[in-house]
Structures are given as structure tokens and as C-alpha cells.
Amino acid sequence: MQPQNPKEHRRRSSMNQRSGETSGRAQEFVVAPEESAGVTAKPKLADRILVWSLTDTDAYTLERCDWYGADSFEPLDFSVAQFIRDELDNFYADFSEWFNLAEYPDVLEQLEPSEAAAFRKAAGAPEDTDFSTIGNYDCFSGLCAVIRQRLEQRSLEQIKLAAELFNWTIECGLFLADTKAQAVLRVGSVGEVAPFLLDRILNRLSSNAKHRSPAYARPGAQWLFQRDRIGHSQGAELGIWLQPGA
């Protein structure tokens, strides 16, 4: 066996220590060196849950994407619940008039049969109220109650359903409002969330190209990749950074 070059040894050690790290303590969702075996290994992407959130108002825009391992349900649950509760409160504080006047079409279709009672109670509607007249009551409060009930179930499936109802509530509530404000949350596997995230990145590059230099132009087709390629080196070329949630 040939002796190892000391410089090469230091370079590899440094790479192992800094693998996936940036100045912002973010982790790149790409192939990382395996420290113990000394070989390149792929993360178990199928076990990762992505949580992408966006808050966009006239005052500020916050967007982030965290990933969680299969054994990190507690921090995932806390992060999602905090985002949903905070944004429901914040958006209602800023746009209460619109949420109160909004129409929530086919609201019954957004609910499970077991959730109808909780919705009516929070909306201030009698127990026997027909949903064809539910628009006469406080639908926003009813929807918030169902979202909270789903979060309280503390399961990944119910968290996903809570996120979906949250998105629908914000979208319907601001549909007629004179604002471009939005709040969106997506929770799911890499295959469920990453394609949507990549579309946003590419669209943003296209938008920047119209206002800035050609260096921001949308990459050619060779930069695109299918769902089963997420995490490969092409992800690094697109500059996808995911903050580890745990």
C-alpha cells in the first residue's frame, strides 16, 4: 500500500468535517462523503420529510425549507404547528375584514365527517346547521378550529392535512383582497415537495434574468432532473440549500 500524502489526508479530513456545511449552517441536500468507510454514500432521501414555508406580505418575505429525519417527528410537529398558528394570527390581524367577508366555497368538501361538529361550534353555528347556509357564520374561525384539531392528532398524515387546509383557508380568505400577500406551507417527502421547490427556483431565475444580468438566466434543459434524481450532483449546480430541522 502506498503511503498517503499528508496534504491529501488533511484535505479529506477537512472535507469530512465541513461536509454539507455553509456559513449559514445550512446543509446541502447532495451526496456527502461517508467518514467511517471513506467512500461516497447517498443520503436516504426516501426517509427525509421536507417542510417548505413561504410568508409573503407587503412588509416582508420569508421563505425556508427544512428537512427532518424519520426519527425527528417532535421538532417537525413543533415547527409546522408554530408556523400555522403564527401565520393564521398574523394574517387575520392584517386582513381580518377580508377573512370575515370571504366566501369559502364547498367548505364541507374540505372537512372529514368527524370534523363538521368542531367546525360548526367554532363558527358559532347551531349543531343542526345545514352547510348550504354556513356562509352566514364565522367560517374562518371554524376552519382554524379544524386545522388545530388536525395538528393535535400528532401524526404526519394529519400534519399534511392541516397544511393543506391552512393553504386553502389563506387562499380563499384573500381571494378578493387588494393584496398579493400569501402564506403557503408544504409538508411531504422529497418526491412530493422538491419538484415544486425546484419550479420556484427556476421561475425566480427567469424573473431575475429580466431585471438583472444574463448570469441569472434560467439554466438549459440539461440542468433539469427528474424526481428520482434529487440529491445528485445536479442539485448542487442549482444551488439547492436545505436547513436541517434536526
CA angle centred on 96, ends 93 and 98, rounded to 5°: 140
Strand partners, 182: 56
User: 4 CB contacts (<8 Å, ≥6 apart)?
Assistant: none
Residues in the chain: 246
Rounded to an integer, what distance in angstroms lies between the CA atom of residue 160 and that of residue 186? 8
Listed residue (198, 208, 183) closest to 242, CA to CA: 198
Q: Which of 63-72, 75-84, 119-128, 196-205 has the lowest mean pLDDT?
A: 196-205
Mean pLDDT lowest among 56-65, 101-110, 204-213: 204-213
* Residue 196: per-residue pLDDT: 83
Which range scores top for mean pLDDT: 37-46, 117-126, 210-219, 225-234?
Answer: 117-126
Q: pTM for the full model?
A: 0.69
Domain ranges of the chain: 45-193
The one-letter code for the residue type at 107 is: V
Rounded distance between C-alpha atoms, residue 29 and residue 197, angstroms: 13
Statement: residue 175 has pLDDT above 70: yes
Name the pLDDT band for 10 (thresholds 50, 70, 90): very low
Dihedral, 167, 159, 54, 170 alpha carbons, nearest 10: 20
User: Does the structure show a pLDDT above 50 at 114?
Assistant: yes
Higher pLDDT, 1 or 178: 178
Confidence of residue 6 (pLDDT cuts 50, 70, 90): low
pLDDT > 70: what percent of the chain?
65
Q: Is the pLDDT of residue 188 over 90?
A: yes
More confident residue, 155 or 18: 155
**What pLDDT score was predicted for residue 209?**
58
* Three-state DSSP state, 228: helix
Residue tagged 424519520 (cell numbers): 70
Q: How many CA atoms lie within 13 A of 115 on its CB side?
A: 22
Least confident of 15-19, 45-49, 98-102, 176-180: 15-19
